[in-house]
Chain A
Amino acid sequence: MKSRKFFLPYLLAAALLVTVCAPGWAQAPGQDSKAVSVSKVERKGLAPVSKEILRVKLPRPVEATLKNGLTVLIMEDHRLPAVSVNLSITGAGPLFEPSDLPGLAVVTAQMLDEGTQTRTSRQIAEEVARLGATLGASSSFGSAASAISASGLSDNFEEWFALFTDVLLHPAFPADELDKLKQRLKASLRQQRSSPDFLVSERFNRAVYGDHPAAVRSATPESVDAFTSEALAQWHRERYAPQNAILSFAGDVSASDLLPKLEKWLGEWERTELEIKLPPNPTPVPAKKVYVVDRPNSVQTSLTMGNIAIDRRDSDYIPMVVMNRVLGQGPAARLFLNLREEKGYTYGVSSSFTALMYPGPWRVGGSLRTEVTEGAMTEFLYELGRIRDEAVPEKELEEAKRAMVANFALSLERPTQLLSYARTIKIYGFPEDYWDTYPAKLMAVTAAEVQRVARTYLNLDTMQVVAVGNAGKIKEIMEAYGPVEVYDTEGNPVAEEAVAATEAAEAGPPAEVAGEWELTLLGPQGSITRLLRLAQDGGTLTGTFAARRGGEAPLTGSVKGNSISFAVTRQTPRGERMVEYSGSVDGGTMKGTMQVGQLSLEWTAKRKE
């Protein structure tokens, strides 16, 4: 039922399907704060597994270059009477947008099928639908390319491909359609600010890319206002150049039949002088920073942390692929097994890295319920530390590499996947046998190499951390991981006082604790009870705590809702020492833990009558 109808998959999925592994993995065997059972993954090793890795030879597409410089790749596959087409135009992507017009490339692509010199927007939509085809253009932020893709049946291929060439070569960018699109865009700019995923990626990209254009993740209301038909037409004229593009076909077509026709259909698309000049490469951010995006009412914290690493051509790419697999790619990886299967903190957790024509970031992250934000940070740091500090055990490494090589067999079911491999060779100028030798290169990666790339790139002292969630509950926690800046969901910085007010509102009015208390410390050898005097001004505490040998030591602290914390300054022969108390208030009693250095003790307190 899920995807029988392509217009409804989202709706149906959301409404009716609950899955064990949602896209990007899932199923959170969780535990909440009261159930502390930790459930270990258990390997019995009794399943019948073929020891051989099924190695496959990936078929290569037919390749040709048209007179205008356009590269054509054709993967014939006659199993089913369907064809899919993708045109990827490097140089036409948002990476090259003027900085004052974010979204120009994206909107140009979106407007391609909103009217041509001979067809209205409505005519295009109706013709595409009548032919049972799909047609769309897209461009994602950070990409050097824009893309047009289409699919349909092979028996009316020429009819629907004519629509494809029409929107590519003759878009009209009609002003009335642009105005309508602008209205829809403005609404979606508004709606996306409710999505934690968008807020994380917006803040994380700003943090790691800095001035690099890949920092941009969205158009702005101002840029949307500024788009004109002429600006779009100019972008299309100047940036959609055949010599920088790859047109690929997969499915029920014949290369020998198709190539001469393409010369005719696309002959008028003229070669230009445009050369691709990338902006200066981003470099890793040198200092640790934490960004909290306050999304009120959140019941989860969405965390992402990382920093700039490598580009796609880097010789460390393949060891990084293996390292990433071990650390956090998929349900057999360390992050999933630890944070999800053992700790039950989350439904989905993973690591990834972006390596394109310019260096992109590594990152780890996931969405976790608010209450375990701190525990999750601890585990993320533990796993990052572990892969840096310890060589991956041989068995684990072998399994990870084997998994990746074996997975190539599955790509044979998807000709479009095979084409994307072929495009990678073209775009990055790799040798023709790149994918043939790729399994061997993966298998050759050693534990020492994995550790080396982890130590080189996963730098915990400089990584950028983004947490989207309820700032009133998580800001204080996040302060342990670096200097914190707080933003609202609109992307604006939030003043310190406003955050404090939110925290206070979140916690409720501070409990009344002023007065005298008998505080009992429960030590291994028995308990000690002493007098605690507290004075209170709103959420601020001052007071004294009786010392062992008489006299009183001063304390300062705070009350937020029912949470109390205070620090007592003691004079010792070796100088001043801080003893920290934290706990909760329940009317006339309090309880919590005391911390001094490595020592931690529990305490209770009773209001003195």
Chain B
Amino acid sequence: MRKARVFLAGLLGVGLLVLVPLAQGVQAAESGKSAQSIRLEFEEFKLENGLRVILAEDHSAPTYSISVTYDVGSRNERPGRTGFAHLFEHMMFQGSEKVGKGEHFILIFNNGGGMNGTTNVDRTNYYETLPANQLDLGLFLEADRMRSLVINQANLDNQRNAVQEERRLSVDNRAYGKTFEAIFETAYDNFAYKHSTIGSMADLDAATVEDVAEFFRIYYAPNNAVLALVGDFKKKEALAKIEKYFGDIPAQPPPSEPDMTEPEQKGERRKTLEDSFARLARVDIVHKIPPANTPDWYALDVLGEVLASGQSSRLYQKLVKEEQVAVAAAGGVFMLRGPSILLLLALARPGKEIAEIEKLVYEEIERLKNEPIEDWELEKVRMQLRHQRVQQLQSTSFRARLLGEYAVNFDDPGLINTIGEKYLQVSKEDVQRVARKYLKQSNRTVITTVPKPAETAEAKPGE
């Protein structure tokens, strides 16, 4: 610790630290409403190379979490080059100038920490949680790979196969594994969300080392990333270390924004999949809705909760309990930065028809259009959201990831505090209005997944 302070003084002394405070904490959105208002104090800075830094000190446990969120997801991919964002996430563990291949895992786990990396349509993130005395380790590991990732043919070949293995596990060897691909493929017209994050094997096979290096240069630049640090550290010390490890990584020209415009859907779309592992038929009903963090999206989120979240939801009570046509019903909105969707799904009870389930779902949708939701339902959603937010804030890792995600997706890390207010602004009338506006048949996609008839007749004579 003493050593670190000396370092800090040295750094400040020669003036290497170029920091621009952007915000001094955030205002309490719900202050005075009740003892329940939870506010996460954080501060924002920007390094000279454009790296956005968010710091939230919390000394209640001797731990800290770091997240680095890059503003790149599968939405940035172009036709013929799908699966790159995710392939990259794997490449980020293959070694950099000062970190050997696979050494990242060993360093984190041998020092008592935990880590992961995830990719979705909108962004890619990497995160670690470590004991507080290993602050340098986490910063060093993230900085070294941002600066000097090793990109060569062997690593690329190796990781292509890795992605295939992951696909086998999560898509090809699992019941309903291909259903989600079909939902996005069918519902969307714009390529950005239409193709799956895991990508096409043919595209991955076609990727060259040059393609990958170019992708790294464009998207894995400090000015395209947000670093969030939450936990047991001192702000000044942490900033000095961040400058030390990240400060000299060169900025790159900003990447171009992908075109996310989605043409209005003009008619219902339907698709049926056969699934050799599924034992029960399943229906997924999707409506396209506006991007997350817009007033209509919040209203649709409330609608989704009322309609399909948990055992008290209308669909669970109707489909599973009253009519007993389904054995499970669930749903809700996706929180996407581009045009989003509301998804409703049900697993059919053996012997029951999907058509019967659909009819009941559409009746419930009509009810939402024709009459306002009940007071207790609105209260329920508000209470549940509040409880969820409190739970989310428990782990430093989740806080770090959420700050990074809100910064990248919505340019607003403060949403972590203000999101509750946005839900409070949703009225019963808003819910009814968005039901009428978006839950139309012409804006609907229905994917039915049916168990594939067994091929035992030819494969297993004698049975």
- A residues sitting closer than 8 Å to B (CB atoms) are 1-8, 11-12, 14-22, 26-32, 35, 37, 39-44, 46-50, 52-54, 56, 79-82, 121-122, 125-126, 128-134, 151-153, 155, 180, 183-184, 186-188, 190-191, 193-196, 296-300, 330-332, 336-337, 341, 344, 346-348, 367, 369, 399-400, 402-410, 412-414, 497-498, 501-502, 505-506
**Nearest Cβ distance between residue A342 and chain B, in whole angstroms?**
9
Q: Residue B20 at the A interface, CB < 8 A?
A: no
Give the chain A neighbours of B63 by CB distance below 8 A: 409-410, 412-413
Interface residues on B, range: 35 or more
Instruction: Please report B residues at the A interface, Cβ cutoff 8 Å.
Output: 34-36, 38, 60-63, 86, 89-90, 92-95, 98-103, 105-107, 109-122, 129, 131-134, 136-137, 140-141, 144, 154-155, 157-159, 161-162, 164-166, 168-170, 172-175, 177, 180, 183-184, 197-198, 276-280, 305, 308-312, 317, 320-321, 324, 327-328, 330-332, 334-336, 343, 345, 347, 349-350, 376, 379-380, 382-388, 390-396, 398, 402, 405, 454-456, 458-463
Contact flag A413-B395 (CB < 8 Å), given A191-B175, A347-B169, A505-B459: yes
Q: Decide yes or no: A48 and B349 within 8 Å by CB, A18-B119, A29-B90, A505-B458 being known contacts.
A: no
A16 / chain B contacts, CB cutoff of 8 Å: 120-121, 180, 197, 334
Residues of chain A with a CB closer than 8 A to B173's CB: 196, 298-300, 367
Nearest chain A residue, comparing its CB with the CB of B375? A130
The answer to whether A39 touches B134, judged by C-beta atoms less than 8 angstroms apart, is no
A297 touching B277 in the complex, CB below 8 Å, given contacts A32-B164, A47-B140, A367-B169: yes
A125-B312 contact given A29-B158, A406-B111, CB 8 Å threshold: yes
A4-B335, A332-B110, A498-B462 known; A11 and B343 CB under 8 Å? yes
Task: Give the chain B neighbours of A54 by CB distance below 8 A.
Answer: 62, 112, 131-134
Known: A35-B157, A129-B384, A344-B161. A80 touches B38 (CB 8 A): yes
Smallest Cβ distance from A587 to chain B, in angstroms?
Answer: 25
- Provided the pairs A3-B398, A11-B343, A125-B310 are in contact, do residues A344 and B165 lie with their beta carbons within 8 angstroms? yes
In angstroms, Cα B147 to Cα A163, docked, is 55
B302 smallest CB distance to A (angstroms): 12
Known contacts A20-B117, A414-B395; A1/B311 CB under 8 A: no
Do B90 and A27 have beta carbons less than 8 Å apart? yes
Asked whether A410 lies within 8 Å of B36 as measured between CB atoms, the reply is no
- Shortest Cβ distance from B341 into A: residue: A15
- Name the distance in Å between A211's Cβ and chain B's nearest Cβ: 30
Contacts of A406 in B (CB 8 A): 111-113, 131
Residues of A within 8 A of B117 (CB): 19-21
List 18 additional contacts besides A7-B310, A14-B170, A341-B102; criterion CB under 8 Å. Answer: A16-B121, A16-B334, A17-B197, A18-B118, A28-B161, A39-B101, A46-B99, A48-B136, A50-B136, A54-B131, A128-B312, A129-B384, A184-B320, A299-B168, A331-B105, A348-B169, A402-B110, A505-B461
Q: Is the CB of A18 within 8 A of B62?
A: no
A82–B390 touching, CB < 8 Å: yes
B198 contacts across to A, CB distance below 8 A: 18
Q: Which of B168, B349, B387, B459 is close to A187, meaning CB atoms less than 8 Å apart?
A: B349
State in angstroms the CA–CA spacing of A128 and B312 once bound together. 8
Q: Give the docked Cα–Cα distance between A87 and B245 (Å).
A: 47
Q: Which residues of A contact B157 (CB under 8 A)?
A: 31, 35, 37
Q: A505: which B residues are within 8 A, CB to CB? A: 458-461
**C-alpha spacing A7/B313, complex, angstroms:** 11
Assess A48 versus B100: contact at CB under 8 Å? Given A21-B115, A191-B280, A347-B166.
no
B61–A412 CB distance below 8 A:
yes
- B463 to chain A: closest residue by CB: A498
Closest to B141 in A: A47
A151 near B391: Cβ-Cβ < 8 Å? yes
Tell me how far the C-beta of B120 lies from the nearest C-beta in chain A, rounded to whole angstroms.
4
The answer, among B103, B175, B311, for a CB contact under 8 Å with A42, is B103
